[in-house]
Amino acid sequence: MLRAALLAGVFHLATASPAAAQVDPARLDALKTEAAAKVDRQAKMVQEMVDSLFSFGELGMQEVESSRYITAVLEKNGFKVVRGVAGIPTAWTATWTNGSGGPVIAVGSDIDGIPKASQKPGVAWREPLVAGAPGHGEGHNSGQAVNIAAAIAVKELMTREKIPGTLMLWPGVAEEPVAAKAFFVRDGLFKDADAVLFTHVSSNLATNWGQPSGTGGVSVLYTFSGESAHSAGAPWRGRSALDAVELMDAGWNFRREHLRPEQRSHYVIKDGGDFPNVVPSEATVWYYFREQSFADIHKNFEIGTKIAKAAAMMTDTTVSHRIIGTAAPQHMNRPMAEAAYANMQKIGLPTWTAEEQQFARAVQKLVGGKETGLDTELGKLTPPDAEPKSGGSDDIGDVSWTRPTITIRYPSNIPNLPGHNWSNAIAMATPIAHKGAIAGAKAMAMTMLDLFLDPRLLADAKAYFTEVQTKDVKYQPVLTNEKPYIEMNADIMGAYRERMRPFYYNPAKHRTYLDQIGVKWPSITQP
């Protein structure tokens, strides 16, 4: 079974992969030390990227300013950018190749924000920059800075040392609605990659292997169509699409009792009609069906669709559905995770100042979290749980079933916050975020060098992928011929973008974003 296979040992192959250049271990360590120093010298660029992306605060599929900014930085540093990949306007790839042959390492991180999470950073109280607007209430503004700083450092070393290989950077577009990475996989974005390194914001330096706690899932819109009528004058002539939505929701909520407790499912009514005195002819509900295996994801999706059809029958309406995206259950590569964790042990966590710790505890108190401050001890790399706990999803899972993949987490945010919340934005344009991103970039750069210069690691990673991860379980995509939901969030960004624009960071005039918006760091007590 899969869980038993996860606990199998790393495959140390007798033959080295010809894809990677061989280097003496002592020389590799020296290059890693140099890469970390090169990352430190990019601290100003990291700060400007983190702060700039924070100020854009864009939602999924509408990351126009974010993508424009990131790709400009990459082109300035010698990467060839292809925009609009997989039919998504804000998606892109940025590649740089040295010599001929060598591994292809794909490096990604998410860039989208959270609805209604606009928040002034650096203040330990609730204060939106623009009331009701989106913002980075998870911290996706920081990951591209991690990756680009690491890539620039490694690129310089590859050029000088004549190390062959290719770096390919890419964005996690619309991760919150899991609406892009499965399309990337379907359209072959990673077909030439030997390994994928992903980064995600956290409160510690960490990685994992095997199947972590959490779920995969399907994100799907159900649209019901009926017939309008005067709600008082001739209601019998109407067929209410909203009634169908409500009946579907009631049916699903009754069915929950008879599903596995590990499942997670949620919905929002996106369109419930226009006026109370008009029978709604159109109504739409958006569902997430989450589970821990491919089979259970498909099962719950089928149940939900069956209930939708039943609701349509009861109301004499019709129903159609559109898959917004999918997230496969994640499975991370053990040899790559062990290599990355060894690098994290060399780096260690940032040295936090007393002011930074004081601020973190103030934010934790604000939202009722444990007042432990910022993490000061590196966590451990542990085997996956025999029975992983349920929880959230990430469409990096689809990528993880395509190529050997790991996620490197870095300490740019405060522990014990609720997640997907305005409070998770408070630290994300402060020295805490900047320090954490530098630590993450060092771990990323060192792990890139491992993959380029240690043939055994790449061979072990591929062996684990084929002989453990995919030996008995294969990737089961849900997407068929669906098109990306590129119009997603256009209405919200259309309503708020011009009100947010005056708050965009201008590094030519202001040293930091906190300086630009007049925040004295740290601000603990609200005036």
Q: Per-residue pLDDT averaged across 172-187, rounded?
A: 97
Position 69 pLDDT exceeds 70: yes
Single-letter code of the amino acid located at 91: A
pLDDT score, position 6: 38
448-460 pLDDT per residue, tens: 999 999 999 999 9
* pLDDT at residue number 90: 98
Copy the structure tokens of residue 423: 């409070």
Q: What is the pLDDT of residue 21?
A: 64
As a three-state string, the secondary structure of 264-292 is: EEEEEEEECCCCCCECCCEEEEEEEEEEC
pLDDT band at 281 (very low <50, low <70, confident <90, very high): very high
Percent of the chain with pLDDT over 90: 95
Three-state DSSP at 524 gives: coil
pLDDT of residue 172: 98
Asked whether the predicted pLDDT for residue 5 surpasses 50, the reply is no
| Predicted local confidence at residue 221, as pLDDT | 97
Answer yes or no: are the C-beta atoms of 172 and 110 closer than 8 Å.
Answer: yes
Asked if pLDDT for residue 28 goes beyond 80, the answer is yes
Q: What is the pLDDT of residues 309-363, one digit of tens each?
A: 999 999 999 999 999 999 999 999 999 999 999 999 999 999 999 999 999 999 9
Place of tokens 């790399």: 381
Mean pLDDT, residues 57-64 = 98
Q: How confident is the model at residue 9 (pLDDT cuts 50, 70, 90)?
A: very low
Task: Residue 360: name the closest of 518, 140, 50, 124 by CA.
Answer: 124
End-to-end CA distance of the chain: 59
Q: What is the pLDDT of residue 20?
A: 61
Residue 54 is inside which H or E element, if any?
Answer: helix 43-56
Task: Give percent of the chain above pLDDT 70.
Answer: 96
Cα(210)–Cα(333) distance, integer angstroms:
6
Query: CA 467, CA 461: separation in Å to the nearest integer?
Result: 10
> What does each C-alpha distance from 350 to 302, 339, 374, 375, 464 come to in angstroms?
47, 20, 10, 9, 32
Distances (CA, A) of 420 to 89, 112, 198: 25, 12, 20
Residue 16 has pLDDT above 70, yes or no: no
DSSP letters, 329-366, are PP-B-HHHHHHHHHHHHHH------HHHHHHHHHHHHH
Mean pLDDT of 114-128: 98
Q: Is the peptide bond before 522 cis (omega within 30 degrees of 0)?
A: yes
| Neighbouring-strand partners of residue 269 | 285
Give the Cα separation of 164 and 21 in Å (integer): 7
Average pLDDT of the residues of the chain: 95
* Band (8; pLDDT cuts 50, 70, 90): very low
Please report the DSSP string for 252-264 in residue order.
HHHHGGGS-TT-E
Q: Give, in order, the Cα–Cα distances in Å from 444 to each of 16, 86, 142, 344.
A: 23, 26, 14, 9
- Indicate if the pLDDT at residue 39 is higher than 60: yes
Q: Which of 11-15, 66-70, 103-107 has the lowest mean pLDDT?
A: 11-15
Are the C-beta atoms of 127 and 418 separated by less than 8 Å?
no
Evaluate whether 86 touches 180 at the Cβ level (below 8 Å). yes
Give the per-residue pLDDT at 501: 98
Higher pLDDT, 212 or 10: 212
Residue 155 amino acid letter = K
Asked if pLDDT for residue 12 goes beyond 50, the answer is no
pLDDT over 80 (residue 13): no
pLDDT of residue 14: 34
Provide DSSP, 428-496: TTSHHHHHHHHHHHHHHHHHHHHHHH-HHHHHHHHHHIIIIITTS-------SSPPP-TTTTHHHHHHH
b/e for 460-489, b at 16 or more Cβ within 10 A? Answer: bbbbbbeebbbeebeeeebbeebebbbebb
| pLDDT of amino acid 213 | 94
350-409 per-position pLDDT tens digit:
999 999 999 999 999 999 999 999 999 999 999 999 999 999 999 999 999 999 999 999
Give me the mean pLDDT over the 38-54 stretch: 98
Confidence class for position 23, pLDDT limits 50, 70, 90: confident
Distance separating alpha carbons of residues 168 and 189, to the nearest angstrom: 10
Mean pLDDT of 226-254: 98
CA distance 246 to 113: 29
According to DSSP, residue 235 is labeled: G
Q: What is the DSSP string of 382-418?
A: -PPPSSPPP----THHHHHTTS-EEEEEEE-S-TT--
CA 195, CA 447: separation in Å to the nearest integer?
A: 11
Measured at the alpha carbon of residue 236, what is the angle toward residues 230 and 237, in degrees to the nearest 5?
65
- Identify whether the C-beta of residue 107 lies closer than 8 Å to the C-beta of residue 200: no
Inter-residue contact 216 to 272 (CB < 8 Å):
no
Q: Rounded to an integer, what distance in angstroms lies between the CA atom of residue 160 and that of residue 153?
A: 11
